Structure 1
Amino acid sequence: MENLLRRYARLVISAQLKLMEGDTLSINTESSTIQFARLLAKEATLTTRQTVMIVEINHGKVVQAYPIDPAEKEIFRPPVRMVVMCHLIDLDSKPYLSDFDLNQAKDEVTVLSQFGMLSEPVFLDRRIAVPWANIPYPGYNWAAQLLGKHASDEEMWNLFSALYRLENDWASSFWEEQGMMLEYRKQRLNALGESKLVLEGDGWSLSADQAKQTLWAGGRAKLSNNRSFVPILPMQSIHASVDSASAEGSFIASRPFQVLGREVVGARFTIKDGKVVAFHADQGEDALAAFFAVDEGAKTVSEISIADNDTMESRYLGKSVHPHFAKELTTSVVLGGFSIDVLTTQMDDEDVDASKLCRSLVRLEIPVGDSHLSLKLTNANGDEQLVMYEGIYTETGGV
């Protein structure tokens, strides 16, 4: 176990945060993940040769903060280069399946936050300008959602190791190549310009216009000084925001997903003028109704996220149970708030409104990817590109 955790820590350091000598790392952690925080901090000092600060938090409040110093005395340490941040996520802190009162859940921001359903805050003047990452740590409750209630610790760690490619020492190389591949996909799709997206599955079709002055985003992130980092692992998806009034058609969820403590199975949606006008589910329909009652924007199609349907994530995560992995397991249609990383020249709220982006308090990723899925883009010049065929991103170009 210790070797596996050390390998995970080194993956975070080398592939995700890309720590350098002189960086000062700050680790936010709950008490349940404090031991891994200490391991990560000690490993980080070997690279940065600077003090790492561990900040223990409880329900958003700081409990204590203490430093982990490198072996070198302060006089021999390198100059400080840059602040780097990460947040450890205890995957068991989410309530998963529960009997929360749906009316209470939809009306209380703290409960919505517990379920991981809040949208990103749109603070255009306070965008994070340092490398950062969310680092999940597995637990029994998370594993039980996917492997059954009798899942063992060994099965849990086998699952987590497979998702992060921790079985050997080549994980960093794998994710570096993955980041380059997603970068290529973004560049290629952004070169088309703002496009009309047509997503088609088995018996359904959904079209939408890409929001103006936005780009395809996801995968690796890059600062203004060209320093790159990976906010979330595993990374399989890239996404585009859509004009909040443009979506038309219907779509069907390809696998179960959780909403406010309920499992939703067999969900189907009808979309008109960008919003859900009708929906049905074989199970969990009341949870969807509660989600849509949060605010009017919750019914809006805000984003299309694409990820191959033949990946380790798609095979091992048979249903969407935690928001950290929701966009990475397969292609999804997103309802509610938009992702702020798609923005380009927007400087204020008027610019955001001009791009017709949905600003709902909440958001929900609904998996639609399977072996029948296709996605076609058509730009303003009429140039068409088949982006996905039979659930797999295609490099072939035209249609």
Structure 2
Amino acid sequence: MQKENLQKLAKLAVRIGVNIQKDQNLVVNSPIECSEFARALAEEAYKAGARDVSINYSDEKFSKIRYTHADLDVFKEVPDWFVAKQNDAVEKGSALISVYADDPDLLKDVDPEKIKTASAAIQSATEAYHMAMMNNECRWCVVSVPTVGWAAKVFPGVEPETAVDMLWESIFKATRADQDDPIAAWHQFNKSFEDKTRFLNHSQFVKFIYKNSLGTDIEVGMPENHIWAGGSEKAADGVEFFPNIPTEEVFSAPHKDKVNGTLVSSHPLVYNGQLIDNFSLTFKDGKVVSYQAETGEEALKNLIEASEGSNYLGEISFVPYHSPISDMDTLFYNTLFDENASCHFALGAAYPTCVKDGSSMSVDELKEAGLNYSTTHVDFMVGTEDLSITGIQADGTQVPIFVNGDWAI
């Protein structure tokens, strides 16, 4: 059954995720531990009519060896071939699937300065590639499958093989890959986003007020002509795709300069292989002016200082507390899953598609419209069972959006 569901998940990522088209190339980015799934993606892509498939394997255990032994200066350099390979994929209209399955504890003892330096260098060198994805110039999808290290973190004290099986079961359930016809289930599920996005886009709230007992107390202003999205999206070529499998969120972009107050995390965050937990961020006129973390404060500092705009918000996202993933009552230590169990924000880049005509705007025009620009985009979770979100209309009318953690509209 596990092998059958693995094939279903691969088919979902290819047919629903990137919606591969006949004679289109597919690029798969995968940890080497997930090679079986990467090969399943390739097989499904060829069956769907892909012209060719290439797989880029990464090895986080080797990365730890390199971080441990190489000099700091090494991490300031990004090979030309690495950048050229990514840009070539976009230029040729390839679809892109990324398998995200980091071990949350693997790099906890690594010098954070090396990780910060490497991250900044890669973000700068691959700016064009990542902005193409942010602007949906190509179809892309993020999906996760278990590794031993990740499974051990999610299910501590369990035999490794059992932990991996348990994580597979959770992933299959969250992605609907355990259903008889997962593709039909996803098409039906996609309709659930329509009423929420229609209401929010019509209302054009000027700001939202968040409050909960953890200490979140913030006002988040919105740009004019902002756009809410959820479920499937359309790429520049007009073809529908799902960027995330799974997904439960409805999201937009806040006005970068109109955020004031404090956000307190409700879930841990794994950033560049390092755990950040029990943290808070305080904003004034959009900018992070103070922060603290019980665990991983240096990693949080590195995130906030990662690049231009990484100390401003780029995404606002609504996810009900009682969502299918949240109801599993499992802390995944994986943003793809945890962000779909909780209302969240992102530090860094805003999606250009979150403002009217944003896809055709220059960077300066996007900034003028109120959207944040950055080479960083990192989601963090703030949703709780008692979270309230109130929408404020232009005339001052207050409309409950979330009450006790769930939709009120």
Quickly name the TM-score band, shorter chain normalised. 0.7 to 0.9
Judge conservation of contact 1:197–1:209 (CA < 8 Å) in 2: yes
- Residue type of the alignment partner of 2:223: A
Structure 2 residue corresponding to 1:168, chosen from 167, 176, 179: 179
* Secondary structure of 2:115's aligned partner: helix
Q: Does 1:307 align with 2:314?
A: no
1:252 aligns to what?
264
Q: Within 5 Å, which residues of 2 pair with 1:263-282?
A: 263-282=275-294
- Of 195-204 and 379-388, the range deviating more from structure 2: 379-388
- Residue type of the alignment partner of 2:370: K
Q: Within 5 Å, which residues of 2 pair with 1:84-163?
A: 85-92=95-102, 96-109=106-119, 121-122=130-131, 127-129=135-137, 131-148=139-156, 150=158, 151=160, 152=162, 153-163=164-174
Judge conservation of contact 2:313–2:345 (CA < 8 Å) in 1: yes
1:28 aligns to what?
28
Aligned residues: 369
Alpha-carbon distance between aligned partners in 1 of 2:19 and 2:116, rounded to the nearest angstrom: 39
Judge conservation of contact 1:140–1:156 (CA < 8 Å) in 2: no
Change (3 A) 1:61 1:389: same
Alpha-carbon distance between aligned partners in 2 of 1:234 and 1:214, rounded to the nearest angstrom: 24
Q: What's the TM-score once normalised by structure 1's chain length?
A: 0.80
Q: What are structure 2's unaligned runs of at least 5 residues?
A: 59-80, 86-91
Judge conservation of contact 1:247–1:273 (CA < 8 Å) in 2: yes
2:61 aligns to what?
none
* Secondary structure of 1:108's aligned partner: helix
2:390 aligns to what?
376
Judge conservation of contact 2:104–2:270 (CA < 8 Å) in 1: no
Structure 2 residue corresponding to 1:360, chosen from 374, 386, 408: 374
Q: What are structure 1's unaligned runs of at least 5 residues?
A: 65-81
1:234 aligns to what?
246
Q: What's the TM-score once normalised by structure 2's chain length?
A: 0.78
* Secondary structure of 2:391's aligned partner: strand
- Residue type of the alignment partner of 2:337: F
| Structure 1 residue 295, shift from structure 2 partner | 4.1
Judge conservation of contact 1:119–1:338 (CA < 8 Å) in 2: no
1:331 aligns to what?
343
- Residue type of the alignment partner of 1:26: L
Change (3 A) 1:244 1:83: closer
Question: Per-residue displacement from partner, 1:40-95 (whole Å, max 9, x unpaired)?
Answer: 3444455x4x3541212246859x9xxxxxxxxxxxxxxxxx97623241514777
1:186 aligns to what?
197
Alpha-carbon distance between aligned partners in 1 of 2:377 and 2:106, rounded to the nearest angstrom: 17
2:55 aligns to what?
56
Change (3 A) 1:111 1:195: same
Change (3 A) 1:264 1:45: closer
Change (3 A) 1:160 1:343: same
Change (3 A) 1:157 1:297: same
RMSD: 3.3
2:208 aligns to what?
197
Alpha-carbon distance between aligned partners in 1 of 2:13 and 2:20, rounded to the nearest angstrom: 9
- Of 304-313 and 337-346, the range deviating more from structure 2: 337-346
Alpha-carbon distance between aligned partners in 2 of 1:119 and 1:323, rounded to the nearest angstrom: 23
More helix by share: 2
* Secondary structure of 1:334's aligned partner: strand
- Of 34-43 and 184-193, the range deviating more from structure 2: 34-43
| Structure 1 residue 96, shift from structure 2 partner | 5.0
Alpha-carbon distance between aligned partners in 1 of 2:344 and 2:230, rounded to the nearest angstrom: 13
Change (3 A) 1:259 1:123: closer
| Structure 1 residue 35, shift from structure 2 partner | 3.6
Judge conservation of contact 2:352–2:366 (CA < 8 Å) in 1: no
Judge conservation of contact 1:236–1:329 (CA < 8 Å) in 2: yes
Judge conservation of contact 2:29–2:98 (CA < 8 Å) in 1: yes
Change (3 A) 1:340 1:2: same
| Structure 1 residue 273, shift from structure 2 partner | 1.5
- Residue type of the alignment partner of 2:380: I
Change (3 A) 1:394 1:41: same
Change (3 A) 1:58 1:128: same
Judge conservation of contact 2:18–2:97 (CA < 8 Å) in 1: no
Change (3 A) 1:317 1:285: farther
Question: Per-residue displacement from partner, 1:144-181 (whole Å, max 9, x unpaired)?
Answer: 22112644232221122222122331433332232211
Change (3 A) 1:256 1:135: closer
Question: Per-residue displacement from partner, 1:318-368 (whole Å, max 9, x unpaired)?
Answer: 446334335322101322222333143232122112022222332332211
Change (3 A) 1:108 1:317: farther
* Secondary structure of 2:188's aligned partner: helix
2:76 aligns to what?
none
* Secondary structure of 1:134's aligned partner: strand
| Structure 1 residue 267, shift from structure 2 partner | 1.6
Judge conservation of contact 1:334–1:364 (CA < 8 Å) in 2: yes
Alpha-carbon distance between aligned partners in 2 of 1:339 and 1:318, rounded to the nearest angstrom: 29
* Secondary structure of 1:375's aligned partner: strand
Alpha-carbon distance between aligned partners in 1 of 2:200 and 2:256, rounded to the nearest angstrom: 20
Change (3 A) 1:349 1:265: closer
Alpha-carbon distance between aligned partners in 1 of 2:100 and 2:218, rounded to the nearest angstrom: 35
Q: Does 1:344 align with 2:356?
A: yes
